[in-house]
Amino acid sequence: MTPTWTISSAFAGALLVLLPPARMAGSARIIALAASLVGMIAAALSCLARLNHPDAPVWRFDAPWIPCMGIRFHLAADGLSLTLLLLTGLIAVAGVLFSWNVEKRPRAFFAWFLTIIGGVYGVFLSRDAFLLFVCYEIVILPKYMLIAIWGSTNREYGAMKLTMYSIGASALILIGLVAAYAAAGATSFDLLHLAGADYPAAMQAWAFPVLFLGFAVLAGMWPFHTWAPTGHVAAPTAASMLLAGVVMKLGAFGALCVAMPLFEQGLGLWKPLIAGLAVVGIVYGALTALAQKDLKFVIGYSSVSHMGFVLLGLAAANHWGLRGAVLQMISHGVIAGLLFGIAGRVVYERTRTRDLAALRGFDLWRSLPGAAVAFTLATAASMGLPGFSGFVAEISVIVGLWKVYPWLTVGVAIGIIITGAFSLRALQKTCFPARPPADAATAPPLPPLTWPEISAIGLLLAVSLAIGIYPKPWVVLIDDGLRSPLFQSILPLP
Amino acid sequence: MLVLAALAMLGAAMAADRKSGKPFSAGVGIATFGILLAAAALLFAPPVAETGTPLLANDPLARIFKAVVLGLGLFSVWVPPARREIENPGEYYALVLFALTGLMLTVGSNHLLFLFVALELASLSLYLLAGFPRTPRAAEASLKYFLFGGVSAAFLLFGISLLYGVSHSATLSGVAQALAAGRPSLPGMTGLAMVLAGLGFKLAAVPFHYWAPDVYQGAPATTVAIVAAASKAVGLLVLVRVLQIGFPLLAGCAAWGEMAAGWSLWLAVLAAASMIAGNLLALAQTGVRRLLAYSAIANTGYLFVALAAAGPKSAGAALFYVVVYGLATLGALAVTADVERDRGDDRVCSFAGLIHRSPFQAVCLLVFLTSLAGVPPLAGFPGKFALFSNAMAESATAGKPGLVWLVGLAAILSAASLYYYLAVLKRVFARESITGGERGTMPPVHALAVALPAAALVVLGVFPALLLEPLTRALMDTLAGR
């Protein structure tokens, strides 16, 4: 199975789920599950094939698309793309499983859901800037629809805010790309061609921040992160998982594979500021999460904090930093997906509240032990405890940072401490209240976990543990991607 | 010529029919037949002369655009005309055919006076078409359209006479030769500016846009569809031909740091003004027709961004975009007209819950509005992308910033435009209908006016090269053969 199966299965699935007649609308979820499973399996098999044959040429698909502008339909799957494809596949499967109980217009729901997945696959595979931008933009409208139609708290506001941030950021990306295209001779949008061109220093000084900021907004860079918590909270569970799990990674991926290779001098000029903002984001996100009353807001702000590590790794711009950034993208994707799944689906659908004070009354440890165990493990992973993926990723970023800006690690350390604090606070309030209310013991037990929930939780936890315990295959794949000629100017080969 | 004869004859036949009390659908039928006949003539009849005459070019560009006019005209005829049906369908559709004939004559005109006459044929028909229903709003629309149009026609004519005085020729190539010989003179520049103002009116560029919101709101939907799609496409083509064939030497420069007086700089200023005014005013609209009017003004701004680069590739991209824009606006108008018939008005809240009443219309409206906003995989996205990237590529050489100031403004304002399109779509998809789910049946021909443009937008969105390549090549041929 070649990596094209990922994109094609998602888009074909998005069309297929619309087919069943209204009285069989429930079958949409089975089609969606099948489509996302095909994508995940294709990604996993491609990863294995790449691990077994690391010296084989990279899979690619290249065909002319708009010849008069030098635009080609160019996909390629090196190790970096493959690991991110696998992450997307995992989140897609888990997202469908956590949405098993969607009753309102399920066909449209899964069609939009799979469209996002397809767009995300497309971004990770694109090697042509135009194609990448197309796939990047395809995601915007489905995000809006998922939140505005199926969302909860303040959904239309959250959806519009998120969409306007995304499209505004896209305008910056458009400006940066178009300027690069013009300066590189206006012959091709191929990423390698654009990265190989010589741009004047004056242009790099303005074009890099424009392009980088365009991508970084979607990656939740402080102070442009405010769309993320509102959007995540307003979104339905599957959309929160997608947003935090993979869509924020689109921004980081674009910054890594487009903004940085194109304007490496601009990167040199601006990276201290990016690193500074990333550290502020880590500390600020964690502090804000500490003060939240809504469980989803806690997770939303923790995402801002965790994505700060990704940006920090990018700003370090050395091998350890970039590898750590990609690892953190995968790790946070899995963990955020898991946390949002548990908070939005498992807990909220049963208790109808996400308020931390109200959740105390349910004493989840007694009333819903399965969820409490899962939430405890997910929180441990989110705190970056050894054995989970977060630890590997964060330590790698910190090593990279130490080589460039050692004094910034102080800020990171503070952020990690606060992360522990807000994680434990949320865990204690929801699962282990110090003084459970008197009527907790007599309250009727909540319905136990269903099989789709258990399998989704199991899948994501297993991946986080697998990365934490044996990160080697992931590191090998990521290093394979980082050896691409695209990163020559940032990471010269020894 | 055959094309035009067929159209005019059928137009006359229609006018004669009006007393026989034919039902309304007969008007649509005969008009459709006339347009299809003209299309067949365009396809199969041998061209009278391959190269055309000094007055009238018959190059590939003109042929492509005649087909575009016929296609957009056909869809416009299928758009449900108004809340209340037109009283004299014979006269109405005869005038529609006259307007289309005028537009088709305009497409190939190489002579400034001939251009003026052809444009006026189209404009006079459109003034009448705007005021057809006997309502105060339609009368206001018609009068405003006529008054502004009359003034702009006077500007155009005065500009042409000045240019004739300077160059002793009224053909585009003659003007170009005369201007190449001497230094740019004040009368020459004034004449050019006046021609630009006259054509700026056709395209509803700020500050010649005041007629647009009232015409879009008051005129019958069919008329608005022609004004928005076919007439705009032709206006842009004329502008490209006049400026790039007649006045390549008076372009000036709009690039950052190298600005010099000339049509390029003037267009850049008009573009910035149109984009800012159109987008900001659209934010405040509560009626979909007025919203589309301000979006029309904003879109003229994007088109002018590309023309300001004064290069063939960006002009080709602009021609592509104006077709795509026309399809999207026309379709959105068709859906709006149908909602008006069911709900009585075009306010945004009347669209609430459209997805439950008519999923087909809702999905098509999604296609039209998101294409206008420039969201892939619809044709508006490659359209805008081609506009902006070609404008940059043809204005910025050797690392100079070029038109980045204008392209940046356009990109940001275009992103902001998603807000007001989403404000409509939000109601269509995420809100429940206020009143019950009753709806009138949609005649199949109206459904076609919605379905075909939507399908075209999807196809052109995935394969933009299908139209972008031939247009760019045809334009380059035309410019090379001047």
Q: How far apart (Å, rounded) are the C-alpha atoms in residues A424 and A385? A: 12
B43 shares a domain with B137: yes
- Domain termination site, one of B219, B250, B281: B250
Q: What is the model's pTM?
A: 0.93
B323 shares a domain with B228: no
Inter-chain contacts counted by CB atoms under 8 A, chains A and B: 103
How many domains does chain A contain in total? 1
B269 shares a domain with B166: no
Residue A68 at interface with chain B, using a CB cutoff of 8 Å = yes
Per-residue confidence of chain A (494 residues) as pLDDT tens digits?
788 899 999 999 999 988 888 788 778 889 999 999 999 999 999 999 999 988 888 888 999 999 988 899 999 998 899 999 999 999 999 999 988 888 888 889 999 999 999 999 999 999 999 999 999 999 999 999 999 988 887 888 989 999 999 999 999 999 999 999 998 888 899 999 999 888 888 889 999 999 999 999 999 898 899 998 888 888 888 889 998 889 999 999 999 999 999 998 999 999 999 999 999 999 999 999 999 988 889 999 999 999 999 999 999 989 999 999 999 999 999 999 999 999 888 888 888 888 888 888 777 787 888 888 999 999 999 998 888 998 999 999 999 999 999 999 999 999 999 999 999 999 888 888 777 666 655 666 778 888 888 899 999 999 999 999 999 999 999 998 898 888 888 887 65
The band of B438, judged by pLDDT with boundaries at 50, 70 and 90, is low
Average pLDDT over residues B227-238: 93
B472 shares a domain with B445: yes
Residue B430 at interface with chain A, using a CB cutoff of 8 Å = yes
Q: Considering only CA atoms, which of A152, A130, A149 is closest in space to residue A141?
A: A149
pLDDT of residue B20: 47
In a domain, A285, yes or no: yes
Average pLDDT, whole number, for chain B? 84
B44 shares a domain with B124: yes
- Domain termination site, one of B233, B250, B267: B250
**B451-473, pLDDT tens digit by residue?**
999 999 999 999 999 999 999 99
pLDDT of residue A483: 87
pLDDT of residue A363: 77
B465, A68: Cβ pair inside 8 Å? yes
B186 shares a domain with B288: no
Per-residue pLDDT at B48 exceeds 60: no
CB A177 within 8 A of CB A129: yes
- Domain termination site, one of B234, B250, B266: B250
Provide the domain limits for residue A114: 4-487
Which one of A7, A66, A157 would you mutate to disrupt binding with B, by most B Cβ within 10 Å of its Cβ? A66
B261 shares a domain with B162: no
Closest residue, chain B, to A155 (C-alpha)? B430
B10 shares a domain with B73: yes
B377, A138: Cβ pair inside 8 Å? yes
The complex's ipTM works out to: 0.91
A138, B415: Cβ pair inside 8 Å? no
Q: How far apart (Å, rounded) are the C-alpha atoms in residues A235 and B427? A: 18
B321 shares a domain with B426: yes
In a domain, A494, yes or no: no
CB B349 within 8 A of CB B434: yes
Closest Cβ–Cβ partner in B377, B414, B468 for A134? B377
Q: Considering only CA atoms, which of A107, A11, A93 is closest in space to residue A44?
A: A93
Beta-sheet strands, E only, within A15-69? 59-66
The band of B4, judged by pLDDT with boundaries at 50, 70 and 90, is low
pLDDT of residue B481: 74
CB B176 within 8 A of CB B111: no
Chain B nearest CA to A453, separation (Å):
28
Q: How far apart (Å, rounded) are the C-alpha atoms in residues A468 and A462? A: 10
Q: How far apart are the first and last CA of chain B?
A: 22
| Cis preceding linkage at A223, omega within 30 | yes
pLDDT of residue B14: 59
CA distances from A25 to A36, A271, A440, B298 (A): 18, 50, 38, 41
How many domains does chain B contain in total? 2
Beta bridge partners of B56: B109
Average pLDDT over residues B9-14: 60
The band of B19, judged by pLDDT with boundaries at 50, 70 and 90, is very low
CA distances from B193 to B69, B166, B198 (A): 27, 14, 9
Which one of A167, A170, A217, A218 would you mutate to disrupt binding with B, by most B Cβ within 10 Å of its Cβ? A167
Helix (H, G, I), strand (E, B) or coil at A72: strand
Per-residue pLDDT at B18 exceeds 80: no
Q: Considering only CA atoms, which of B418, B369, B442, B363 is closest in space to residue A107?
A: B363
Provide the domain limits for residue B244: 1-250
Q: How far apart (Å, rounded) are the C-alpha atoms in residues B482 and B463? A: 30
Per-residue pLDDT at B435 exceeds 50: yes
B94 shares a domain with B12: yes
10 Å CB burial of residue B186 (0-12, 13-18, 19+) is: exposed
CB B51 within 8 A of CB B133: no
Q: How far apart (Å, rounded) are the C-alpha atoms in residues B37 and A215? A: 52
B177 shares a domain with B261: no
